[in-house]
Amino acid sequence: MTRLWNVAVAKGYVTREQIEEARILRGFSPGRPLGEILVDEGFITREKLAELHEDPDVIPGGRIPEEVRRAQADPANRTDHFVRIRRLGRGGLGEVWLAYDLELSRYVAIKFPKKEHLAKFLDEALILARFDHPGIVPVHEIGPNYIVMAFIDGVPLEEAGLTLEEALEAVQQAARAVHHAHAHHVLHGDLKPGNILLRRDPAAPRGIRVTVVDFGISQGLVELNERLAEGACVGTPAYMAPELLRAGGPAIDHRCDLYSLGATLYTLLAGAPPFGSGQTSEVIARAAAEDPPALARLSPSIPPAVDAIVRKEMSRDPAKRSRDCEEFADSLEKILWADPRAGKRIAGWRIPLAIASAAMIGLALGYLPSAVGRNVPDAAATDVAAAPESRHLSEGRTHEKSGNLAQALEKYTQAIEANPSSGDARFERGVLYCVTGEYEKALEDLLAALRLAPDNMRIRPFLHYAVSKLAELGNRP
């Protein structure tokens, strides 16, 4: 029995026999919450049930959060002992909700598959339940029409605003998680940036922690080969290994996931999938016939060692890829730490991938920001001329608030002149240029700001904004 009903029995609100009767009646109308049946049958009052949901014995962590309390007010948000709070996503196969587990006092993610896809999702849950790895989202519970999983408060890799170093670390962690799945004879089958979530965690290596999600089309080797032989395979073409796309190709093994991880890293570094994300047939044709474009040509800031490992994992011949995901992860680790050339360079860099993306867009527009690839200046230099810079900045902000943008711009420029290594001043002027629609200037200032203050989390959103606006407008400096 669940904790809630154990407490209900212990407090004498309801008997175990009544709960069993309610369970059987639920068999006649699947999907109805057990608590609702108990109330309808007169086994327990609605007030007592509500009390139970807030009972300290039921909720070891104490009182429930306010947002949960608000959501709880609407009975439509209840699914068994979970309160649905907000929808995290919706697709053709079903919905995912952020919910709160009233029994264990924790946030969870609940998948509600459409009826016709329920079996597929239950398969996913059974696969996930086999794993025990910090990089793979754990399954907490399987209900009659839903699957409860840990809520990963992260963002997909492509939205994470990663530095080069972080991108390598993220894919390295993901590769180790996938290796764990392979050790259980399960392929992921749909690895891509969107299926790897990232959380910032100061205690984690390089400050990030990744979780591989969506094992929805995972399968064992036997099943996968059988399905291919039956004439169908599943995945996202931009990240699928060529052998999955080739009729009459060799038998499939775990190395198709290696290809997807290589393509994922490629996308993170280049800002777009290797063979584009357009028409499926075009992507498939290119993946089957071409090597990916060299990363070094797209962005000179990407070290040759990284380019080489990406190209290796994206080999059309699986035999030329790493032996397994662990070997791939080790290779990335070596680049990050041990390689005397590439390793040191990367370890010292804080090159945001937003810059790599900007560089690509700039390249397409015939423009490459000069700031890309430079090193962070000595922090000591920043302190010397801080005082006048602060004054100019403060005055500039006041002008900006009052709508005097021209004077604000002048003040920010003076702040930069007073202290050319001030990330704050560059940032403020960059934002102001966004406001005035001068996106090229904004891009230049924001890139410089990021180089000067790589840990300033406010910069990246504006940088993305400026880049997207430039791309949208097709501007050429």
Partner 1 sequence: MGKETIFSTTGGGFPTTRWTRLLQIRESGTARSREQVQVLFSIYWPVVRGVIFRQWTRDPEEADDLTQEFFLSLLERDFSKDLAPDKGRFRHFIKAALKHFLLNRRRDERRLKRGGGARVVSIDDPAVAEVAAEQGVEGFDRDWARCLLKAAVDRLREFCAASDRRKHFEAFQLHYPPDRPEEALPYPQIAERLAIPYHDVGNYLKWARAKMREIVLELIAEYAGGAEAARRELEDLFP
- 246 makes contact with partner 1 (CB under 8 A): yes
Which residue from 52, 54, 29 is spatially nearest to 40, judged by alpha carbons? 29
Q: How many residues bind partner 1 (CB under 8 A)?
A: 55
SS3 371: coil
Amino acid letter, residue 472: E
The phi and psi torsions of 140 (rounded to 5 degrees) equal -90, -40
- 282 makes contact with partner 1 (CB under 8 A): no
Selected from 9, 39, 88, 122, the binder of partner 1 by CB under 8 A is: 122
Tokens of 264: 């994922």
- 280 makes contact with partner 1 (CB under 8 A): yes
Nearer to partner 1, 78 or 429 (CB): 78
- 183 makes contact with partner 1 (CB under 8 A): no
SS3 121: helix
CA of 253: how far to CAs of 54, 100, 214, 446, in Å?
50, 39, 19, 45
Give the alpha-carbon dihedral of 286, 291, 296, 302, to 10 degrees: 90
Nearer to partner 1, 248 or 474 (CB): 248
Selected from 3, 9, 11, 32, the binder of partner 1 by CB under 8 A is: 32
H-helix or E-strand spanning residue 156: strand 155-156
**Per-residue string for binding with partner 1, 87-116, x by CB under 8 A?**
----xxx----------------------x
Instruction: In angstroms, give the least distance from the CB of 22 to partner 1.
Output: 9
- Pair 261, 322: CB distance under 8 Å: no
Q: How big is the chain by its Cα radius of gyration, in Å?
A: 27
Which residues, in sequence order, are CB contacts of 453 under 8 Å at separation 6+? 423, 424, 427, 459
Q: What DSSP line would sit under 46-97, residue for residue?
A: HHHHHHHHT-TTT-TT-SPPHHHHHHHTSGGGEETTEEEEEEEEE-SSEEEE
- 3 makes contact with partner 1 (CB under 8 A): no
Instruction: In angstroms, give the least distance from the CB of 87 to partner 1.
Output: 18
Nearer to partner 1, 120 or 464 (CB): 120
Q: Of 229-237, 321-329, 423-431, 436-444, which part binds partner 1 (CB under 8 A)?
A: 229-237
Selected from 10, 12, 28, 319, the binder of partner 1 by CB under 8 A is: 28
Nearer to partner 1, 32 or 312 (CB): 32
- 79 makes contact with partner 1 (CB under 8 A): no
Selected from 3, 11, 117, 391, the binder of partner 1 by CB under 8 A is: 117
Which residues, in sequence order, are CB contacts of 203 under 8 Å at separation 6+? none
Selected from 226, 282, 291, 383, the binder of partner 1 by CB under 8 A is: 226
Q: Which residues are catalytic?
A: 190
- 50 makes contact with partner 1 (CB under 8 A): no
Selected from 216, 271, 273, 292, the binder of partner 1 by CB under 8 A is: 216
Q: What DSSP line would sit under 377-426, residue for residue?
A: PPHHHHHHTHHHHHHHHHHHHHHHHHT-HHHHHHHHHHHHHH-TT-HHHH
- 248 makes contact with partner 1 (CB under 8 A): yes
User: Interface with partner 1 by CB under 8 A: which residues?
Assistant: 1, 16-17, 20-21, 23-30, 32, 41, 91-93, 116-120, 122-123, 143-144, 190, 216-217, 219, 222-223, 225-237, 240, 244-249, 280, 284
